[in-house]
Amino acid sequence: AQRTLAIIKPDGLLGNYTDDIKRTVSEYGFSIVEEQIVQLDEATVKRFYAEHSSKSFFSSLVKYMTSGPVLVMVLEKDNAVADWRALMGPTDASKAKITHPRSIRAKCGLDTEKNCVHGSDSTKSAQREILFFFDELAPD
């Protein structure tokens, strides 16, 4: 089986979407291998999202991701990376409501930034991101 890193972002956690999301996760055949609630600080978010550091939305993203605690999870199933991305829906939650109404972002997110959940975008990212949060765990 494959592993991916999922994050329920501050709006998801504070909006009480956690139980709903976890139910969906298990309905779709993922198992939660690790989970941890963390309050991220600026430096940690900047490191995690380093690839976006030159983007116009970077400082806003850092503010959003430090605005409250997040739930970080390692999810496992066959094809976990792509399947979790599909289940999350598109980045822009406001569009997701129209094009992917059953997706998690459609149900829990708000817009392009406040989109409630994160998922690794490749197996390589998954490996980096899982190590980032859970040191000794790595996919495959």
Confirm whether 100 is a catalytic residue.
Answer: no
Amino acid residing at 11:
D
CA dist., res. 78 & res. 56, Å (int): 35
102 annotated among ligand-binding-site residues: no
Q: Active site residue: 46, 100, 114, 118, which one?
A: 118
Min. distance of Cβ 30 from ligand ATP in angstroms?
Answer: 18
91 binds ligand ATP (CB under 6 A): yes
User: Looking at 1, 61, 131, 137, which residue binds ligand ATP (CB under 6 A)?
Assistant: 61
Give CA separation, 131 vs 3, 50, 58, 66, in Å: 11, 15, 22, 20
Phi, psi for 137 (deg, rounded to 5)? -85, 140
112 interface partner picked from ligand ATP, Mg ion, none, CB below 5 to 8 A per type: ligand ATP
Catalytic site residues? Answer: 118
